[in-house]
């Protein structure tokens, strides 16, 4: 693996329906396991900055613990209160049992492929 990707966890570290947070390049990235599909995103609510990984994972939606903003991991966009507004997500690769996260967020073009 080249320097563009960070090894953050193994698939055994994050049970289905749960999230974990990791340091990556000075920031905090959360990784969620949605039915064995892994999603990485900035672990910071766009409202007041609390850790999204402290919230709830409802299927593929992260619900912030404080004021219940809803972040859809499948579409990489808010569901509530600003439907369609993108939030910061990162590409994920699984190699063997390792979870690799790219060191820079998805581009607009990559986001369109998530819909
Ligand atoms: S801090 Fe997350 S919804 Fe307000």
The two tokens of residue 8 are: 């953050």
Q: According to the model, what pLDDT value does residue 112 have?
A: 75
Cα 52 to ligand 1 centre (Å) = 9
- Residue labelled with tokens 């997500």: 89
Q: According to the model, what pLDDT value does residue 115 have?
A: 43
Task: Evaluate: CB of 62 within 6 angstroms of ligand 1.
Answer: no
Q: What distance in Å separates the CA atoms of residue 114 and residue 17, rounded to the nearest whole number? A: 20
Cα 105 to ligand 1 centre (Å) = 21
Q: According to the model, what pLDDT value does residue 107 have?
A: 82
Q: What distance in Å separates the CA atoms of residue 11 and residue 20, rounded to the nearest whole number? A: 11
Q: According to the model, what pLDDT value does residue 74 have?
A: 95
The DSSP secondary structure of 40-103, one letter per residue, reads EEESS-TTT---GGGSEEETTEEE-TTT--EEETTTTEEEESSTT-B--EE-EEEETTEEEEES
Structural domains present in the chain: 5-112 (2.102.10.10)
Question: Of the residues 69, 71, 79, which should be mutated to test ligand 1's pocket, given the most ligand atoms within 8 Å of the CB?
Answer: 69
User: Residue with the nearest Cα to atom 4 of ligand 1?
Assistant: 67
Task: Evaluate: CB of 48 within 6 angstroms of ligand 1.
Answer: yes
pLDDT tens, per residue, the chain with 115 residues = 579 999 999 999 999 999 999 999 999 999 999 999 999 999 999 999 999 999 999 999 999 999 999 999 999 999 999 999 999 999 999 999 999 999 999 887 888 765 4
């Amino acid at each position: 693996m080249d320097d563009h990707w960070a090894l953050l966890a193994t698939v055994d570290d994050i049970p289905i329906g749960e999230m974990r947070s990791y340091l990556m390049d000075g920031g905090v990235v959360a990784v969620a396991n949605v039915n064995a599909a892994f999603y990485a995103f900035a672990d910071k609510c766009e409202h007041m900055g609390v850790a999204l990984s402290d919230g709830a994972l409802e299927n593929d939606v992260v619900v912030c613990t404080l004021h219940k903003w809803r972040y859809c991991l499948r579409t990489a966009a808010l569901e509530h209160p600003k439907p369609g507004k993108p939030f910061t997500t990162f590409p994920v690769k699984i190699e063997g049992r390792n979870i690799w996260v790219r060191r820079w967020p998805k581009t607009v073009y990559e986001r369109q492929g998530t819909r």
